[in-house]
Structure 1
């Protein structure tokens, strides 16, 4: 039996920790959709603004919006619908969200 996962449903968001906010007043949140063999699949969303983060092991696909992620080593990745990215646990990143970013993640 198949179960359709609703990636369009609302994601509860809250303001980010002020210690991580570099610019603006971004909010973010996530909603788990399923667990498969101990791995979580979910939807994450962040509103415009700039914030830092320390990543977990994750692969994600951008569903909508646009952003730029800069890694501690200086590498920059521009994100748009269809972008696929692999994050590694412990990586320090800075997220500049230009248009509310929505992604589906596997972590």
Structure 2
């Protein structure tokens, strides 16, 4: 399924078989290594965006959207940061981890095995 093709009704999709085009993380968003991310929006439901997101090994800083996600594969650590960059909490992400982000939350991701998640988010 090409990126942005949407999720057809009544047709099963195996998210681990979905090929995503990756773009390198650049500039001040890079925390370590040479991470890249890929995204495929599958559709919108009740005003929420449904999609699959993936990150390769490495580290990056991000500011999160209002989102709930389920890790499908890979492993990572996500650190929640306060305004000055101090770590407030650390969470390991592995397959079957379910997590929610509040909009505007600053984070640092460290991916040790390519991480893939399916998410529902309020559009930015």
- Give the TM interval when normalised to the shorter protein: over 0.9
TM-score (norm 2): 0.82
List gaps (5 residues or longer) in structure 2. 1-8, 83-87
Measured after TM superposition, the shift of residue 71 of structure 1 is: 0.2
Q: TM-score, normalised by structure 1?
A: 0.94
Is there any run of 5+ residues in structure 1 with no aligned partner, and where?
none
Deviation at 1:2, TM superposition (A): 2.5
Q: How many residue pairs are counted as aligned between the two chains?
A: 107
The Cα shift of 1:23 comes to: 0.7
Deviation of 1:37 after TM superposition, in Å, equals 1.3
Partner-residue secondary structure (3-state), 1:19: helix
Counterpart in the other structure of 2:59: 50
Q: Deviations over 1:1-24 (max 9, x none)?
A: 634244121011100122110110
Q: In the alignment, what sits opposite 1:96? A: 110
- Give the Cα separation in 2 of the matches to 1:64 and 1:86: 17
User: If you compute each CA radius of gyration, which structure gives the higher value, 1 or 2?
Assistant: 2
